[in-house]
Structure 1
Amino acid sequence: MSDSGSGGVRLDEPAVIGRRVLRLRTELGLTQRQLAEPAYTPAYVSTLESGKVRPSEAALRHLAERLGVTPEELVTGRPARLAAELRLRLTDARRALATGAPEDAAPLFRALCAEAVEHELPGEQATALLGLGDCLLESGELDDAHECFASVERLLADEPLPRRVPAIRGRANAHRLTGELRYACYLLETALDQLNASGLQDPDALLLLYTASIAPYMDMGAHERAAHAAELAIALASRVDDPALLAGMHRGVARTLIAQGRIAEADASLAKAQDLYRQLHIRTELAHCHWMRGYVHAQDGDLERAENELRTAYDMLTAKRAALFAEQVEVELADVLRRRGKVREAEALLRPLLAVGTELAEAAENAGNTGNAANTATKATKEIPEARALRAGRGVVHVGAAHRLLGLIAEECGDTEAAEEHYRAALPLLERAGVAGDLAGLCCLLGDLLRRTGRTEAALDAYRTGLAHRATPGTTTLGPAPAPPLM
Structure 2
Amino acid sequence: MDEPARIGRRVHHMRTELGLTQKQLAQPAYTPAYISTLESGRVRPSETALRFLADRLGTSYEELATGRPAHLATELRLALADAQQDLARGEAGGAADRYRALLADAERLELVAEQAEARLGLGDCALEAGELGEAIGQFEEAERLLAAEPLPRRARAVRGRAVAHLLAGELRYACHLLESAIDELGTSGLGDPEALVLLYAAVIGPYIDMGAHARAAHAAELALALAPHVEDPALVAGMHRQVARTFLAEGRLADADASLAKAQAIYGQLRLRTDLAHCHWMRGYVQAQDGDLVAAERELRTARDMLSARRAALYTAQVEVELADVLRRLGRCGEAAGLLAEVVELGERHGAVHAGGAHRLLGLMAEERGEAEAAEEHYVRALALLERSGATGDLADLCRLLGDLLRRAGRTEAALDAYRTGLGHRAAPGTTTLGPAPAAPVLRTAPVSGSRSAAGRAE
Equivalent positions of 1:308-457 (< 5 A) are 308-355=298-345, 389-391=346-348, 394-457=350-413
Q: Distance in 2 between matches of 1:460 and 1:270?
A: 41
Kept in 2, the 8 Å contact 1:390–1:399? The answer is yes
Residue 121 of structure 2: aligned partner: 131
Structure having greater relative contact order (Cα 8 Å, sep ≥ 6): 2
Whether 1:175 and 2:165 are equivalent positions in the alignment is yes
- Among 257, 275, 286, the alignment partner of 1:285 is 275
Kept in 1, the 8 Å contact 2:215–2:431? The answer is no
Residue 227 of structure 1: aligned partner: 217
User: Offset at 1:390?
Assistant: 2.2
Kept in 1, the 8 Å contact 2:90–2:272? The answer is no
User: Offset at 1:38?
Assistant: 6.3
Counterpart secondary structure, 2:247: helix
Letter matched to residue 390 of structure 1: G
Q: Could you say what the CA RMSD is over the residues aligned between the two structures, in angstroms?
A: 2.8
- Among 21, 27, 31, the alignment partner of 1:36 is 21
Whether 1:239 and 2:196 are equivalent positions in the alignment is no
Q: Deviations over 1:243-271 (max 9, x none)?
A: 01110111111111111111011100000
Note the residue ranges of structure 1 that are not aligned, 5 or more in a row: 1-9, 356-388
Q: Distance in 1 between matches of 2:429 and 2:358?
A: 22
Letter matched to residue 240 of structure 1: V
Q: Distance in 1 between matches of 2:187 and 2:135?
A: 29
Kept in 2, the 8 Å contact 1:257–1:263? The answer is yes
Letter matched to residue 391 of structure 1: E
Residue 213 of structure 1: aligned partner: 203
Higher mean C-alpha deviation, range 243-252 or range 410-419: 410-419
Counterpart secondary structure, 1:39: helix
Runs of 4+ in structure 1 deviating by more than 4 angstroms, as ranges, are: 19-22, 47-68
Kept in 1, the 8 Å contact 2:128–2:310? The answer is no
Residue 457 of structure 2: aligned partner: none
Equivalent positions of 1:250-261 (< 5 A) are 250-261=240-251
Cα pair distance change 1:110/1:338, threshold 3 Å: same
User: Offset at 1:21?
Assistant: 5.9
Residue 381 of structure 1: aligned partner: none
Q: Distance in 2 between matches of 1:476 and 1:48?
A: 62
Kept in 1, the 8 Å contact 2:25–2:53? The answer is no
Whether 1:465 and 2:421 are equivalent positions in the alignment is yes
Q: Distance in 1 between matches of 2:288 and 2:119?
A: 37
Q: What TM-score, normalized by structure 2, do the two folds share?
A: 0.87
**Of the two, which has the highest radius of gyration?**
1
- Among 121, 127, 151, the alignment partner of 1:161 is 151
Kept in 1, the 8 Å contact 2:244–2:259? The answer is yes
- Among 137, 151, 174, the alignment partner of 1:184 is 174
Note the residue ranges of structure 2 that are not aligned, 5 or more in a row: 27-31, 448-459
Q: Deviations over 1:375-424 (max 9, x none)?
A: xxxxxxxxxxxxxx2226x3421110011111122222232222211111
Letter matched to residue 463 of structure 1: Y
Cα pair distance change 1:452/1:96, threshold 3 Å: same
- Among 65, 75, 85, the alignment partner of 2:75 is 85
Q: Deviations over 1:172-221 (max 9, x none)?
A: 11111111111111111111111112211111111111111100000000
Kept in 1, the 8 Å contact 2:8–2:41? The answer is no
Kept in 2, the 8 Å contact 1:48–1:55? The answer is no
Q: What TM-score, normalized by structure 1, do the two folds share?
A: 0.83
